[in-house]
Amino acid sequence: MPLITVSYTSSRQSPSLRAEIANAVSELTAKILHKDPKVTAIIVKSVEASDWFAGGKSLAEQKLASYWIDIHVTEGTNTKDEKAAYLAAMFKRMAEILGPLHPETYLHVDEVKGDAYGFGGLTQERRYIAGKLDVSLQAAGEPSHPRPDRQLAARN
């Protein structure tokens, strides 16, 4: 259930560019980091090349593309090798999409503690524990409702 923010700059202009980036990021995140695309959120933002500086010059001057990807995942869910493979694969794929990349192009895998991160009103830790105990999920503060299958079993 990662939250991924992609900021990019490129001379390539296309109405479908943001969707291409989001699709590539989603695909590689699923394939390499084993994250479910159904619960992956991706924000894609364009930055003017004249506003992006690397090595003391704007990328407009250098005629190069770049990106900054910040992905939040639950701590301990990926190995060092998976993260390294993800960075390498993303650099290759984004070069195919955006064009030649400046070497100072970054990706950050931000590992967040499961008790401090979640979606739909539930932390990842709560989801993990509920899965291990086979209990229904509810956000903190919501009233507890017995599971129908457990009510039936209790009657028998």
Mind listing the pLDDT tens digit for each residue in 19-30?
999 999 999 999
Mind listing the pLDDT tens digit for each residue in 38-61?
999 999 999 999 999 999 999 999
CA distance 13 to 35: 29
Pick the CATH number of 3-112 from 3.60.9.10, 1.10.3720.10, 3.30.450.20, 3.30.429.10: 3.30.429.10
Q: Is the pLDDT of residue 147 over 70?
A: no
CA distance 57 to 40: 34
Q: pTM for the full model?
A: 0.83
For the chain, where do the domains classified as CATH 3.30.429.10 start and end? Answer: 3-112
Q: Name the least confident of 99-103, 107-111, 147-151.
A: 147-151
Structure tokens at 92: 């290759």
Mind listing the pLDDT tens digit for each residue in 71-80?
999 999 999 9
